[in-house]
Structure 1
Amino acid sequence: MRSNSLRRSTLTALITLSAASVYYAQTVKDTVSKEADIEQVVLTGVADIAKDRKTPVAVSTIKEAQIIDKLGNQEFPEILNSTPSVYATKGGGGFGDSRINVRGFDQRNTAVMINGVPVNDMEGGSVYWSNWAGLSDVTSAMQVQRGLGSSKLAIASVGGTINILTRAADKKRQGNITLGLGNDGYNKALFSYNTGKSDTGWSTSFLMSRTAGSMYADGTEFEGYNYYFALGYRPSAKHDLQFTITGAPQVHNQRSFQSTIADHIKYGGTEENPNRKYNQNWGYLNGEEYSMTRNYYHKPVMSLNWDWKISDATTLNSVAYASFGRGGGTGDAGRINGKFYNTLPRTADGLVRFDDIVKWNQGGTVADFGAVNATPGISNSSNGIIRRSSINSHNWMGIITSLNHKINDNLSATVGFDGRTYKGIHYRIATDFLGNNSYTDTSNINNKPNIITNAFTTNPSWNPFGGKTNDIKDQLAYSNDGLVNWLGGFGQIEYTNDVLSAFVQGSVSNQAFQRVDYMLYAADQQKSEKVDLVGYNVKGGANYNINENHNVFVNGGYYERQPFFGAVFLNNRNDVNPSLTNEKITSFEIGYGFRSAIFNANLNVYHTGWDDIYRRLTTRAKINGVDVTGVANVLGIKEIHKGIELDFNVKPAKFVTINGMFSVGNWYFEGSPTASFIDDATNTVIQEGTLALDGLKVGDAAQLTAALGADFKLTEWLNFDAQYRYADKLYSAFEPSSRLVTAAKPTPSDPAVELPSFGLLDLGAGARFKLNNTQSFKFRVNVNNVLDTTYIAESRTNKAADANAANNWNGINKSNEVFFGFGRTWNASVSFIF
């Protein structure tokens, strides 16, 4: 059972220390803002960096040194877990499979930007961190702006904006060689060198790294590379050009499916200590680790920044960028005697019996698999199992330009343009026939058998700039392109003086959507109609510096955001949704800041309403004794997110800095929309009713988070740090269709289950030994989850606790499907800096 007394005592300790630090710091004086330091070492260009005591938004900034020292072998977004209202997890635990929520909004609804350039997928808003696995090596600062943010673009910052700022080419001359080790065979090698700026204005920066091993979960082998090259040229004081290219080709086995708590206990665990490493997606094939879920991708991104100082009052900042992503993720196709691969009998350890799957596919007898294969080597959707890959490639190009003019000493204006074009390339191919000779697919327009005999590699290509490499005859299930064109404009008026800064900003964008389907339509009907949708936002805010210690700010705004690609075209076809409408977001917040020589604190109160959310829901109903799947395209879902955030840092002595934060939210659904579920095959309504959502908590992110940490610089060469992080009011994700109220089902299913709270302790230590003025050795070791705490990081099901306590674990029904968080992990590194 969860310990309420432990939770209360932990929170009391955190709040008491926070209050004591505030009381102690009231007598000290102001400190100097560090934003200027950021601008000197990163690509700023079109990036909108929030400035302390000036930009009226809630913001937290993580510097390069903290990322290098404390991230270790954690996932990149996890470095933000020490900031308010952020909940980042490792997801399934595969390399780069992490996810992040800001103020209860997932990363599809949180804008992620690199040097001011948006990177959220233009079809669905997704961010795949495995594609950016090398960013931690080249990031000079990472800034999360919660709420509206300071970006002038018409971006989908419902929850906030994460701006990752990479190093500039003209960073000072320095080289670095780093070797690292960690748990489960983790190893990393890195080399980087910056030339510094020459007398003629040229500068370069280069980095190359390789990371490999396994993650904490079983069956998660990976290998990833990272390269970064920047070339800078400043021919005069008026012009600054920076070209960058970065990419991170990688391949990793995944833990894609959450397993029941019961299975974590059954396979290698106990009631007291479930096997947190259990992964239902893998096994051995010919004695080697083999996973049915494997991800491989390469997404090089290149950009050219041009900053032009036209005059003392006018500047033009522009960036042209392009991204070409190639790769996909694997899964299964087919069945054996009506069973999918993950429902077949397993080994005693719970592993997939891939050798037996191959044996059955080839006609051999596998007693507990049922009847022998009647057509050995010939597989299809109902006979035989293969591994296939869902390709999700893209071509993406864009340009952003911003003209800034200082009207007078206090007033400035900005206008700009944002244009993008995107082509998503989606199809499936076979990657391993698992003993079969072919796979027969009937997904094409005439349902004619397409006999597939070619299998393709699951390794990322280092040359991803080509087009679709596979013929339609090699594709199965689907083959389509998603086309999205974006045209946007923005403007801002800003007023500043010694104590007041205020702005009013607006932007408008037109998104044009089109779908091309090569599988379901004849050649002259493959292109859908074009759908143009207009969105816009208006926002404003003001910051007032009361004196050198105190400041207050307020901001507010209204967004109308176009729905994602999947809401435009229904049921994976070219059919246009007749009920398209923009999502509406209303947000406002107030904040207070205190600055002094040894103590800084921020307090924010926010409220965000998100209306007309689109969801595509599925449900099952029995029609004449037969299970029928129905789909509903629901508009009108509304969420309210409100809360309070506090963060602080105090330096009571020269050798120690204490950091802390506390945030509590109240995120819930408002209203109960109606839904009609339609059977695709007959186009008839099979169920309709009301989704009883009103008042239910929004799940999948902790609504209460707290952290307390300390950094000790014990000597000039030795440092130590510790951080304790606490999460509570974490609810399971749940499918809104489970709340459907009909005449036959007047009582809805249980709401989202509240998961047990947890606290994690991380420790780190480092040492640096100087050989001379330019050369030194640096050593670092991190241990995460030092106390080896067992906790549930997320749950996709919401089954209420059973009346029989034996069917529960820590108060949670054992039939719930969850991802346990990682146990104790460690990493160590040595760097030679020259």
Structure 2
Amino acid sequence: MKNAIFYLTCLLLSNYIAAQEFQLSGTVTDQKSQPIPNVTILIKGTSTGTQTNEDGKFSFYLEKETYTLVFSYQGTDRKEVVVDLIKDNELDIQLEEILEKLDEVLVKSVRVEADSPITHSNVSKEEIATRNLGQDIPILLNYLPGVVSTTDAGTGVGYTYIRVRGSDASRVNVTLNGIPFNDAESQGTFWVNLPDFASSVENLQLQRGVGTSTNGSGAFGASLNLLTDAVSETASGEISNSFGSFGTRRHNVKFSTGILNDHIEIAGRLSAIASDGYVDRASSDLKSYFLQGSYIDDTTLIKAVAFGGHEITYQSWFGIDQTTLENDRTFNPAGQYTDADGNTRFYDNEVDNYKQDHYQLHWNQKYTNNWSTNLGLNYTYGRGFFEQFKEDEDFADYDFTPIVIGGETINTTDLIRRRWLDNDFYVINATANYKDNNLDVDFGAFYSFYDGDHFGEVIWAQNAGGSEIRDNYYFGNGKKDEFTIFGKTTYRINDQWSAFLDLQGRFVGYETTGDTSDRVPLEVDEKYDFFNPKLGATFHVNKTNHLYASYARANREPRRSDFENGINTAERLNDIELGWRFTNKKAVINANLYYMWYKDQLVLTGALDDVGAPIRATSGESYRLGIEIDADIALWDRFIIKPNLAISSNKNKDFVTSKDGSLVNLGDTNISYSPNIVLGNMLIYQPIKNLQLGFLSKFVGEQYMGNIDSKASKLDSFFTNDLNIVYEIKNIPVFKSIVLTGLVNNVFDLEYVSNGFFFTFDDDFTNPGTIITREGAGFYPQAGINFLLGATLKF
């Protein structure tokens, strides 16, 4: 493999030398020398063009000639520049005036600017596209600083998860066009419900730590804000297909009418993804859609957006023990049972089957050069179940009546059950913005209401015990309402100093009735009032060096499963961030130091409940202390390196646990699922025009799956490497271009585990009267070397 890559690189390099092409690159900035993303650069008289990235940079590879470049923003010409290209050339372009794109207003209230005192990373549509072959968003974001991604099925398709700074996905606040995506009760983010959503993302921002004020559950590890496809000025169409290991395949079609009659655009996408999974029977059958209609003029943007998905995935969250991991890595115990002849079999429909639809309406209005408003409405409808075959279940657990036959009482049965979720989520979000040369003010209000039913039914039983069809053997309901008001201000004191203030009031009510899935009554009626202040400052040392500091507080209510475990105390987090940003023509470097200290943090115990959801416990006092560094460096023409490093110490203070029948203070222990080192790197080489080679590496240090520093709970470190190839064929008949993409994951075929679970239990059977605490663990193995190949036809 290494020799093949070397010879391929040499061949492509020789082609480049023969072609005599030169690099035309540059940076676009505003009057304050701040980089401007999403500026369109067209070569006059041709259809060739590009856009600046989040750092304001752009690049072409062109043959020797004289070119006129047209720089524009939101369709308005700003500047023409003539370039006589006889060698590699780098430009510095300053636009005198820049208008904010109306599309960007959708997420303005939950995002921060490039020079804000909030630690963040931006990812553009173009960056996502290079590896977007059907894997979920957590996998596509795996190479960002402090991020660890994992997947149940071992392939990045199906159930996938993301952790940031050791915080799990339920503590990463996700918004789609400013609307919360986290489930209101579980606080989790289930990307499997929106398969191929990355194909409809214009850009995203990941804020690490508390971040800025956002809508929905408070961020305790990060905030992830996604903006869906922007309005396209020109008509376009795409057909994409990809195929790969383990029967993985993705098919989608996209279209845009462009702007019709100067005001209207209609765009959409249909996708289908399927995979057999690396783990046995861990199959995925995923379908999704995205449709938007837009009205736009100089001061108004109205968007109606509908998107959703239907997922059917065979369950693969049971994991395997250490012995099975060593002898049969792909074994999946889900659905296992013993038939009447004593043979081990697997139920063929042990699946999750869930549908989720989102309907959004956004109205952005610009009144003057200073004032604008945004109104967002949302309705989300989710419904579905997971199905299980269960052996020897007690009648009493399902309200079955015992059966007496010939004097013998039957009170157990094999059965198939479904546990249902049926929920509605309503949101209204209103914001206003005032902006001039020195002041940028956002303020607004947010209200949401969630109504969710939880119920179970038995769809087949060997002995039904007098039950009726569609009887519910348990039923519960949860209602949650939230009202948030916020105001945040960035004030540019002078050319060097700017200050940031963000004040948020968040008021949450949660009420439950009925029973849990274990048929235990759950009666909750709690209200929480939170005040979350954030403040910071940025110091512009010079054009290339910026320093920042910030403090933020966040409070967070428990989730439904916490209440089931008797926890009703809210968590509190204080977060201090100190950072340095360096930008010049060849490099962008970000470094930050953070200290996050918690009161009553709900840490993962490592154990799972009977539906595979992580169980949490209050840790009292705890903290996360770390340093993060990431860079984007042009080592030489056509060769870029993007390393990042996160080193941290994550500790519970004076952690108390039950051991051998007594409470024991273990002192300071490691917080679960929090590796002390996470390292990523991307080597990107563009040997010829339209060809990009990427070599991507990720190292995750060892971590504990529990909070008691048990050896049995330790996950070993792992170091994986991926190879990414993208080649675009342009100027061909019928098509605008054809993009060919290849991705080889885990190129060195490493056997590794990225996630697992850990549990303890008290054993007094061996020696009655003496309690001994025993430990156990499960693991989720990930796939060895595997590949995905794709082709996108653009019209």
Q: How does the TM-score come out when normalised to structure 1?
A: 0.74
Deviation of 1:170 after TM superposition, in Å, equals 3.3
Q: Would the alpha carbon gap of residues 751 and 277 (structure 1) be closer, same or farther in structure 2, given more than 3 Å must change?
A: closer
Instruction: Give the number of the structure with larger relative contact order, counting CA–CA contacts within 8 Å between residues 6 or more apart.
Output: 1
Cα distance per residue 1:57-81 (max 9 Å; x no partner):
1111222222222143433201222
Alignment partner of 2:717 out of 757, 762, 774: 757
1:491-502 to structure 2, matched below 5 A, reads 491-496=487-492, 497-502=494-499
- The residue identity in structure 2 corresponding to 1:313 is N
Alignment partner of 2:548 out of 553, 556, 572: 553
Q: Is the 8 A contact 1:170 1:232 kept in 2?
A: no
- The residue identity in structure 2 corresponding to 1:796 is F
Deviation of 1:754 after TM superposition, in Å, equals 3.5
Partner of 2:445: 417
Q: Distance in 2 between matches of 1:312 and 1:92?
A: 51
Q: Would the alpha carbon gap of residues 711 and 101 (structure 1) be closer, same or farther in structure 2, given more than 3 Å must change?
A: same
Q: Would the alpha carbon gap of residues 418 and 775 (structure 1) be closer, same or farther in structure 2, given more than 3 Å must change?
A: same
SS at match of 1:82: coil
- The residue identity in structure 2 corresponding to 1:304 is L
Cα distance per residue 1:554-610 (max 9 Å; x no partner):
11112232233444x556xxxxx6x84431111111000111111111111001112
Partner of 1:72: 133
- The residue identity in structure 1 corresponding to 2:314 is N
Deviation of 1:211 after TM superposition, in Å, equals 1.2
Q: Distance in 1 between matches of 2:111 and 2:482?
A: 26
SS at match of 1:299: strand
Partner of 1:652: 635
Alignment partner of 2:621 out of 638, 661, 682: 638
Q: Distance in 1 between matches of 2:515 and 2:167?
A: 35
- The residue identity in structure 2 corresponding to 1:755 is L
- Which range is displaced more, 74-83 or 510-519? 510-519
Q: Would the alpha carbon gap of residues 700 and 163 (structure 1) be closer, same or farther in structure 2, given more than 3 Å must change?
A: same
Partner of 1:462: none
Q: Would the alpha carbon gap of residues 757 and 599 (structure 1) be closer, same or farther in structure 2, given more than 3 Å must change?
A: same
Q: Is the 8 A contact 1:592 1:603 kept in 2?
A: yes
Q: Is the 8 A contact 2:210 2:553 kept in 1?
A: no
Deviation of 1:92 after TM superposition, in Å, equals 4.8
1:474-493 to structure 2, matched below 5 A, reads 474-476=471-473, 478-493=474-489
Alignment partner of 1:55 out of 116, 138, 151: 116
Partner of 1:544: 539
Partner of 1:316: 373
| Structure 1 residue 305 corresponds to structure 2 residue 333 | no
Q: Distance in 1 between matches of 2:170 and 2:134?
A: 24
Partner of 1:124: 186
**Structure 2: which 5+ runs fail to align?**
1-24, 30-34, 40-53, 55-99, 398-402, 608-614, 761-773
- The residue identity in structure 2 corresponding to 1:710 is L
Q: Would the alpha carbon gap of residues 588 and 291 (structure 1) be closer, same or farther in structure 2, given more than 3 Å must change?
A: farther
SS at match of 2:670: coil
Q: Would the alpha carbon gap of residues 55 and 605 (structure 1) be closer, same or farther in structure 2, given more than 3 Å must change?
A: same
Q: Distance in 1 between matches of 2:165 and 2:616?
A: 26
Partner of 1:13: none
Q: Is the 8 A contact 1:35 1:51 kept in 2?
A: no
Q: Distance in 1 between matches of 2:239 and 2:132?
A: 17
Q: Distance in 1 between matches of 2:318 and 2:385?
A: 17
| Structure 1 residue 594 corresponds to structure 2 residue 588 | no
Q: Distance in 2 between matches of 1:47 and 1:409?
A: 17
| Structure 1 residue 506 corresponds to structure 2 residue 503 | yes
Alignment partner of 2:514 out of 517, 529, 532: 517
| Structure 1 residue 281 corresponds to structure 2 residue 242 | no
Partner of 1:817: 778
Deviation of 1:136 after TM superposition, in Å, equals 1.4
Q: Is the 8 A contact 1:177 1:192 kept in 2?
A: yes
Deviation of 1:507 after TM superposition, in Å, equals 0.9
Q: Would the alpha carbon gap of residues 635 and 263 (structure 1) be closer, same or farther in structure 2, given more than 3 Å must change?
A: closer
Partner of 1:713: 686
Deviation of 1:289 after TM superposition, in Å, equals 7.5
Q: How does the TM-score come out when normalised to structure 2?
A: 0.78
Q: Distance in 2 between matches of 1:135 and 1:490?
A: 29
- The residue identity in structure 2 corresponding to 1:451 is S
Cα distance per residue 1:338-362 (max 9 Å; x no partner):
9x9xxxxxxxxxxxxxxxxxxxxxx
SS at match of 1:797: strand
Q: Would the alpha carbon gap of residues 400 and 691 (structure 1) be closer, same or farther in structure 2, given more than 3 Å must change?
A: farther
Partner of 2:270: 208
Q: Would the alpha carbon gap of residues 287 and 211 (structure 1) be closer, same or farther in structure 2, given more than 3 Å must change?
A: farther
- The residue identity in structure 2 corresponding to 1:279 is N
SS at match of 2:126: helix
Alignment partner of 1:244 out of 305, 314, 318: 305
SS at match of 2:141: helix
Deviation of 1:320 after TM superposition, in Å, equals 0.6
Q: Distance in 2 between matches of 1:699 and 1:336?
A: 34
Aligned-residue Cα RMSD (Å) equals 3.6
SS at match of 1:423: strand
Cα distance per residue 1:524-581 (max 9 Å; x no partner):
xx995743221220001111221111111111112232233444x556xxxxx6x844
SS at match of 2:281: coil
Q: Distance in 2 between matches of 1:306 and 1:705?
A: 41
Deviation of 1:155 after TM superposition, in Å, equals 4.0
Q: Distance in 2 between matches of 1:283 and 1:254?
A: 11
Deviation of 1:653 after TM superposition, in Å, equals 2.7
Q: Is the 8 A contact 2:153 2:277 kept in 1?
A: no
Alignment partner of 2:594 out of 574, 592, 606: 606
Q: Is the 8 A contact 1:241 1:305 kept in 2?
A: yes
Equivalent residues, number = 673
**Structure 1: which 5+ runs fail to align?**
1-27, 270-274, 341-372, 441-449, 455-472, 572-576, 620-631, 678-686, 740-748, 800-812
- The residue identity in structure 1 corresponding to 2:543 is E
Q: Distance in 2 between matches of 1:138 and 1:517?
A: 39
Q: Is the 8 A contact 2:158 2:284 kept in 1?
A: no
Q: Percent identity?
A: 19
